[in-house]
Each structure stands twice: as C-alpha cells, then as structure tokens.
C-alpha cells in the first residue's frame, strides 16, 4: 500500500473508531443521559425459558453494552441511581431522580434523559416526574417484562426504542413519556395492564401518543398539561396520603386507621364512578371533618370520576380525581398538599391536569 493510501486509511479509521467512547460523527448527535434504577430490564435469571428471575441485578455498563445500536442514535452517557425492583422505589428515590434530572437540564449536561425502571411502578414514577421536572426536554422511561437472560427478552429493543424517542427531532415538548413495546405513552395516561405479558402498558382513555418502529418515531397526539410543575428541590418527603380500595361490604373501620396514623389525605378507589356505601361515606366524612383531604377515584380503569353524580361532594367536602387512577391521584394529592390546604384549589388541580 502506498504511503498516501495509508494516511487516508488511518484517517478513516480514526474517524470511525470510538475515542473515549465517542466518534467524531457522534459529536453531532443529541446527548442522551441514561439514569438506571433497576427493574426487570436489569434482571437476570438462571433459566433461559422459565419466568423466575431477580430484578435489578445487571449494572448500567452491561445494559448499555448489550445494545451498541444506541450509540448510532445519540451520544450516550449514564449513571446508576439505584438497582432495585420498582416495588422498592420510594418517595426519596423519586425526589432524587427528579432533582437530578432538573440539574442535568439546568447544567446543559444532556438534551434528553432515559430512565431504565421496573415496570410495576413505572407509571407512578413517570407521573411524579411529569409533575415535578420543570423542563421541555424529553424524559423517557423504559423497562422490560422479561429479564435480560430470557429467551426473546424485550429489554434491548425497548431500550433502543427509548433512546430513539429521546433523540428524535419529533420529540419536542413531549415531557415525560413511557416507551414500551413499540408504543409511546404520556406519563399521565399510561397504566400497567398485564402482570407478565410483553404488551403490558396501555392508555385506557386516550390511547398511546405515538409509535416507535424501525428506528423511526411518529406521534399522533399530545396531552395538554396545564398544571405548573411543583417545586421539590427543597423537599425530603411528601405529606402522607393513603389509598383505600372499595369492595362489597368494605369495613369503614379502615378509615379510622388512617385518621389515627395522621394521614393528610385519603384516596378512595371507589366502585363505579368513585362510589362507596353509606357507612363508608360516614367514615370518610368524619375524616374530612378532621382536616383530611378525601379524593374519590375509582377501581375501574376507564372513564372519569365526576363531581356530584351519586355523591354530594359539595356538601360532604370530597374532591374528585377526574381521570387519574388511584395511585396517580395519590401523587397529585401529595404534591398539592405541599402547596395548599384549600380543598377548592386542590379540586381545580385535579380538574385542570
Ligand atoms: N418487579 C419488577 C419491577 O417492577 C417487574 C418489572 O420490572 O417488570 O422492578
């Protein structure tokens, strides 16, 4: 090979070989920072074909190395926030995540954030972040239903899709979303709807916002978020809010438990349009008189809970959750209580989100 050919060859190699994990062409790519929290996407099991596994085992480096294609979509950086099953995520972890994301965007450390997360409580973390991160940059949560060691595992594809969404020019002002199984869901509308299937997420009322397929993102609609983000940077905890579940002949004494435990709010996952028995109504009215905010949500996963339908909300002092499921209504009530104790103002937040 001639001398000048060698020079050209070495220049070409120089440009395509990663230098400190970064190629020249990567410099023009959007910067996506990955925050890993654990879950099945970082889970491993002994058998290729059986369901048993432990969530939150695989560290972030391994997760990212398993999907080299993400480096074609974005300049990737990452950090481990936790490595736990999402059933163990707590309010402290939410605050840590939210504050860290805020810092990343304020310091211009990245253009978008992807969070790897267990699927069990992913909708809650997503909704919490959608109410607390004050930035327009995309924040995409992603997980897996099958551990990384399983046959036909879904984590690698979901991670690539999540990075694709985070890096896409179409993803302007999408806020916090969940990318699972080729769909893109808004944090507010998404629910986990299957215990084991890979198609485990849906938005019952309004459908997914868009689709990610073959490396391309297409949005069909976008939710309106009119609530101003809550400021959480100075908080270490949130006011206690408990959820109670409605069923035939439910014992109203459970409400006394909440009163004794100094809860600040109750979300009641009522039957139908957020209904409960007369005895339960008495117990909940007693809680309202003690200054506890009571929100009527529903155990039904479609539709809204509406004011003054079968329950005299005005007279009894109840708030309705509108279309928020009980676990999301709890999040909004906890955050609302950091700002106000005014029932009407809180009701406006539920109707306005
Ligand atoms: N229990 C797991 C978790 O939420 C389930 C999953 O990730 O799919 O962390």
- HSE-up of 63 (CA within 13 Å, CB side)? 37
**CB of 58 shorter than 6 A to ligand 1:** no
Radius of gyration of the chain (CA): 23
* Rounded-to-integer distance, Cα 296 and Cα 330, Å: 10
3-state secondary structure of 209: coil
| Any domain includes 107 | yes
Residue 195: active-site member:
no
- pLDDT, residue 17, reads 33
* Rounded-to-integer distance, Cα 116 and Cα 120, Å: 12
| Any domain includes 229 | no
Q: Which atom of ligand 1 is nearest to 39's Cα?
A: 9
Residue 198 CA, ligand 1 centroid: distance in Å: 12
Domain that holds residue 44: 2-219
**CB of 85 shorter than 6 A to ligand 1:** yes
pLDDT in tens, 5-61: 444 434 443 333 333 334 445 568 999 999 999 999 988 777 777 777 777 788 999
The answer to whether residues 87 and 166 belong to one domain is: yes
202 pLDDT exceeds 50? yes
Tell which one of 55, 116, 142, 178 to mutate to probe ligand 1, the residue whose CB is within 8 A of the most ligand atoms.
55
Q: What φ, ψ does residue 242 adopt, rounded to 5°?
A: -105, 150
- pLDDT, residue 50, reads 75
239 pLDDT exceeds 60? yes
pLDDT in tens, 83-94: 999 999 999 999
The answer to whether residues 152 and 283 belong to one domain is: no
| Any domain includes 224 | no
**CB of 126 shorter than 6 A to ligand 1:** no
**CB of 155 shorter than 6 A to ligand 1:** no
Structure tokens at 227: 């609530």
**CB of 223 shorter than 6 A to ligand 1:** no
| Any domain includes 334 | yes
| Any domain includes 319 | yes
Segment 239-267 shows an average pLDDT of 97
The answer to whether residues 145 and 177 belong to one domain is: yes
Residue among 40, 132, 232, 263 flagged as catalytic = 40
The answer to whether residues 265 and 192 belong to one domain is: no
The answer to whether residues 264 and 200 belong to one domain is: no
Tell which one of 43, 52, 116 to mutate to probe ligand 1, the residue whose CB is within 8 A of the most ligand atoms.
43
The answer to whether residues 215 and 246 belong to one domain is: no
**CB of 86 shorter than 6 A to ligand 1:** yes
**CB of 40 shorter than 6 A to ligand 1:** yes
What is the sign of the dihedral through the CA atoms of 103, 106, 109 and 114?
A: positive
**Band of residue 169 on the pLDDT scale cut at 50, 70, 90:** very high
The answer to whether residues 205 and 251 belong to one domain is: no
| Any domain includes 125 | yes
Cα–Cα–Cα angle for 313, 131, 141, rounded to 5 degrees: 125
Number of folded domains that form the chain: 2
The answer to whether residues 331 and 288 belong to one domain is: yes
The answer to whether residues 323 and 199 belong to one domain is: no
pLDDT in tens, 78-117: 999 999 999 999 999 999 999 999 999 999 999 999 999 9
Atom 3, ligand 1: residue with shortest CA distance: 118
């Amino acid at each position: 090979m001639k001398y000048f050919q060698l020079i050209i060859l070495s220049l070409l190699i120089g440009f395509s070989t990663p230098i400190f994990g970064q190629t020249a062409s990567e410099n023009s790519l959007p910067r996506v920072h990955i925050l890993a929290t654990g879950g099945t996407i970082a889970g491993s099991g002994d058998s290729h074909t059986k369901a048993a596994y432990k969530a939150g085992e695989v560290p972030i480096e391994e997760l990212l190395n398993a999907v080299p294609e993400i480096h074609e979509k974005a300049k990737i950086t990452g950090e481990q926030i936790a490595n736990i099953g999402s059933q163990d995520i707590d309010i402290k972890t939410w605050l840590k995540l939210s504050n860290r994301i805020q810092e990343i965007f304020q310091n211009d450390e990245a253009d978008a954030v992807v969070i790897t997360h267990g699927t069990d409580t992913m909708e809650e973390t997503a909704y919490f972040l959608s109410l607390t991160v004050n930035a327009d940059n995309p924040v995409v949560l992603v997980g897996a239903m099958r551990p990384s060691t399983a046959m036909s595992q879904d984590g690698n594809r979901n991670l690539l899709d999540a990075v694709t969404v985070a890096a896409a020019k179409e993803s302007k002002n999408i806020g916090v979303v969940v990318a699972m199984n080729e769909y893109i869901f808004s944090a507010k509308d998404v629910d986990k709807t299957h215990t084991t299937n890979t198609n485990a997420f849906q938005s019952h009322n309004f459908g997914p916002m868009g689709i990610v397929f073959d490396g391309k993102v297409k949005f069909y609609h976008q939710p309106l978020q009119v609530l101003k983000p809550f400021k959480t940077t100075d908080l270490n905890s949130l006011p206690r809010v408990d959820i109670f579940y409605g069923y035939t002949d439910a014992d109203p004494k459970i409400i006394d438990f909440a009163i004794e435990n100094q809860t600040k709010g109750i979300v009641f996952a009522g039957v139908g349009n957020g209904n409960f028995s007369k005895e339960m109504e008495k117990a909940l009215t007693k809680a309202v008189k003690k200054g506890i905010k009571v929100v009527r949500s529903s155990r039904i996963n479609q539709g809204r809970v509406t004011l003054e339908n079968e329950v005299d909300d005005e007279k009894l002092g109840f708030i309705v959750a509108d279309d928020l499921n009980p676990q999301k209504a709890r999040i909004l009530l906890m955050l609302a209580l950091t700002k106000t104790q005014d029932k009407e103002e809180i009701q406006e937040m539920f109707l306005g989100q």
